[in-house]
Each structure stands twice: as C-alpha cells, then as structure tokens.
C-alpha cells in the first residue's frame, strides 16, 4: 500500500489547528533558514571588508614606514650636515696656510728638484682634500641653490654627451628614452648636473667591462605616495605632475646589506683612490632641496636603477 494511504488509515483525523501549527512551524523553519543564510552572507561580506581593510592598513603602514625612514634619513643627514660644515671650515683654514707655504716654497726653491717633487705631491693631496671639502659643503649648504625653469632633457644631454665617449670606449652603451611631452621643472642646474654626474659615474663604475645605461624621463601624475613631508614648506600644494627620471644600469648591483648604507656620507665599496663615498649623499641632499625624491633599487649581480622624482609646478 502506498505510504499516503497508510497514513490516512493509521493517523487520526487532522485538525485545522494541527495543520496550521505544522504550516506555521514549516514557515518558521524557512524564515530561520533565510535568516541564517543572510547572516552567513553578511559574515562573508564582513570578512571580505575586513580583509580589504587589513590590506589597506598594511599598505598605509608600509607608507608610514617609508615616510619614517625618509624623515629619519633627512634628520640624520641634516645633523651630519651641520657637523660637517663646522669641521670643513676648521680644516679649510690650516689647509689654506699649508697650501700658501707650499706654493711660496715651490717658487723660492725651484732649483731643488727633489723638494719640488715632494711639494708637488703635497699640492696634489691638498687639491684632493679641497675637492672633498667642497663636496661636503655642497651637501650641507642650504642657501646656495638657484632655481630656474628648465628642460631637464637638456641637462641630461649635456652630462651624457660629456661622458658618452669614454663610456663607449669601455663598452658601455647609453640609451635615451626621453618623454616627448616635456614639461619644464625648476632646478638648480649646477646641482642637478652634479647629481647626474654622480649617478652616471656610479653606473659606469658598476658596468666595468661593458653594459647598457638607459636614461629615461617620464611625466607621471602625482599619486598618494607623494607625501607632504617631501615638501620643505608644508603649505606648498602637492604638484599635479611629477618629472620621473630613471637611470637603469646592467652593472654589478648592490648587496642587500649595503643598500641601507649607500646614502651615508663616506660609505663606499670602491678602493680608496676611486671613491670617497660622497656622491650619493650629496645627490640625495640636492634632490631633497628640490623637494624631490631620490630612490635606489638594486639587485645584486643584475643591475641598479636610480629614480629621481621632481615636482612639476606651473
Ligand atoms: N649604480 C650602482 N651600481 C652598483 N653600486 C652602486 C651604484 N651606485 C652606488 N653604488 C654603491 O654605493 C656606494 C656609494 O656610492 P657613492 O656615489 O655615494 O660613493 P662612491 O661612488 O663610492 O664615491 P664617490 O661618488 O664619492 O666618488 C658605492 O661605493 C657603491 O658600492
Ligand atoms: Mg659615486
């Protein structure tokens, strides 16, 4: 017999109340299921929101960390700068006296060849010290910048044309990838050229035996990563556009443990007569005075990219 018929015969007559109760119960169950489903969906959405918020928080924390590092670096460099200026002037005075005496001796004892040779070496070393001191003073001096509206491609070209011949002899090729839509930037041309020289010289040294140096300019829209702390004057409005310069070399790269130190004055991995370790710290300070950003990315054994961002102002 079919189950329905058995039910009809065995179960008592269904009352309206019991049917209503059953229907209510079923409806209640369904409502509960719906509610649970909705709650589950809500939970899922909250979880996604939470994951997103976590990601955003992580990104903000990373930015904050970078900002903190940059501030620390700036403060550290500013402190070193003040000290360096004092020391430089202390050295310059006696150095000028030594130089003066050596020069008069060179004139007075011009027949004494041996002495003249010694005096020549002294003068050479004095010149070396003077060069270091003038670099150091550039690093610490604030007022010597003269900002002029200029086409950055011309500055790059003027430095590249000076070193390109020598680079070619060493098997290094310079590739230019300049944005055709140039916008002028306000720069201290002497300072900026010095920065380019330092970067290109570093790349050249790292590509001993040949390689490719790609120099590019690009106009990018200033994003959230362009933080106010990079502006010396916090009332300055954030620039809409940024001139991004990249110097990409296929050289030796920088070891992970060295990358944090490369902006420190006197940090060098070069032999004594080849480098003083001032190039990058001076360059960093110059770019900072332009309210710009200076960053170095590198992979040991693969190459190095120096990125400079300069604000474009109307
Ligand atoms: N393009 C690069 N490739 C590989 N290493 C680099 C590069 N640029 C910088 N470095 C590393 O960073 C160090 C510091 O560079 P920085 O320009 O400050 O000083 P330096 O080149 O050693 O000496 P100076 O510039 O005073 O002659 C270098 O000694 C080198 O180890
Ligand atoms: Mg250098």
Site to probe by mutation for ligand 1, drawn from 215, 279, 281, 305 as the one with most ligand atoms within 8 Å of Cβ, is 279
Task: Examine the domain organization and report whether 157 and 237 are in the same domain.
Answer: yes
Looking at the 3D structure of the chain, how many domains does it have?
A: 2
**Enclosing domain of residue 128:** 76-140
Model confidence, pTM = 0.68
The pLDDT, as a whole number, for residue 82 is 76
Task: Examine the domain organization and report whether 84 and 110 are in the same domain.
Answer: yes
Find the CATH number of the domain harbouring 211.
3.30.565.10
Task: Examine the domain organization and report whether 203 and 295 are in the same domain.
Answer: yes
Task: Examine the domain organization and report whether 252 and 122 are in the same domain.
Answer: no
The pLDDT, as a whole number, for residue 119 is 93
C-alpha to C-alpha distance for 97 and 107, rounded to whole angstroms: 16
Spans of the chain below 70 pLDDT: 1-13, 139-144, 224-237
Smallest-distance ligand from the CA of 267 = 1
The pLDDT, as a whole number, for residue 229 is 46
Task: Examine the domain organization and report whether 218 and 129 are in the same domain.
Answer: no
Task: Examine the domain organization and report whether 93 and 242 are in the same domain.
Answer: no
User: Left (φ > 0), alpha (ψ -120 to 50) or beta: where does 217 sit?
Assistant: beta
* Sheet of 293-299, strands arranged across: 172-177, 211-221, 241-249, 303-312, 293-299
C-alpha to C-alpha distance for 248 and 173, rounded to whole angstroms: 12
Per the DSSP assignment, residues forming a β-bridge with 60 are none
Q: Is 304 exposed, middle or buried (0-12, 13-18, 19+ CB in 10 A)?
A: buried
The pLDDT, as a whole number, for residue 228 is 46
Residue where a domain terminates, one of 119, 140, 161: 140
Task: Examine the domain organization and report whether 133 and 186 are in the same domain.
Answer: no
Which residues lie closer than 8 Å to 193 by C-beta, 6 or more apart?
Answer: 155, 158, 159
- Cα 203 to its chain centre, rounded Å, is 16
120 falls within a domain? yes
List the shell of residues around ion ligand 2, using CB closer than 5 Å: 202, 279
Query: Which ligand 1 atom sits nearest the alpha carbon of residue 282?
Result: 18
262 falls within a domain? yes
Task: Examine the domain organization and report whether 164 and 199 are in the same domain.
Answer: yes
The pLDDT, as a whole number, for residue 3 is 57
The pLDDT, as a whole number, for residue 193 is 92
Task: Examine the domain organization and report whether 194 and 81 are in the same domain.
Answer: no
Query: Which ligand 1 atom sits nearest the alpha carbon of residue 253?
Result: 4
- Percent of the chain whose predicted confidence (pLDDT) is above 70: 89
The pLDDT, as a whole number, for residue 9 is 60
pLDDT tens sequence across 248-286: 999 999 999 999 899 988 899 998 778 888 899 889 988
Site to probe by mutation for ligand 1, drawn from 202, 248, 250, 273 as the one with most ligand atoms within 8 Å of Cβ, is 202
């Amino acid at each position: 017999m079919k189950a329905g018929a058995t039910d009809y015969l065995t179960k008592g007559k269904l009352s309206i109340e019991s049917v209503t109760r059953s229907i209510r119960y079923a409806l209640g169950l369904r409502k509960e299921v719906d509610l649970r489903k909705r709650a589950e969906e809500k939970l899922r959405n909250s979880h996604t929101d939470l994951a997103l918020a976590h990601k955003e928080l992580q990104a903000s924390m990373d930015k904050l960390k970078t900002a903190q590092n940059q501030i620390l670096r700036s403060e550290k460099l500013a402190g070193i700068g003040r000290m360096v200026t004092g020391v430089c002037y202390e050295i310059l005075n006696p150095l000028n006296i030594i130089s003066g005496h050596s020069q008069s001796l060179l004139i007075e004892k011009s027949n004494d060849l041996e002495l003249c040779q010694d005096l020549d070496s002294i003068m050479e070393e004095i010149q070396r010290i003077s060069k270091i001191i003038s670099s150091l003073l550039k690093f610490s001096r604030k007022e010597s910048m003269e900002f002029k509206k200029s086409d950055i491609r011309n500055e790059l070209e003027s430095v590249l044309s000076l070193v390109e011949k020598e680079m070619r002899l060493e098997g290094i090729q310079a590739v230019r990838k300049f944005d055709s839509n140039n916008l002028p930037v306000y720069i201290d041309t002497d300072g900026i050229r010095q920065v380019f020289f330092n970067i290109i010289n570093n790349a050249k040294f790292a590509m001993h035996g040949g390689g490719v140096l790609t120099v590019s300019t690009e106009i990018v829209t200033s994003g959230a990563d362009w933080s106010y702390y990079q502006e010396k004057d916090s009332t300055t409005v954030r620039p809409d556009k940024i001139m991004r310069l990249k110097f990409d070399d296929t050289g030796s790269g920088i070891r992970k443990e060295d990358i944090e130190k490369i902006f420190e004055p006197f940090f060098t991995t070069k032999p004594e007569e080849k480098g003083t370790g001032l190039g990058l710290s001076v360059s960093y300070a110059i770019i900072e005075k332009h309210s710009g950003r200076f960053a170095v990315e590198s992979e040991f054994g693969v190459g190095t990219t120096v990125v400079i961002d300069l604000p474009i102002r109307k």
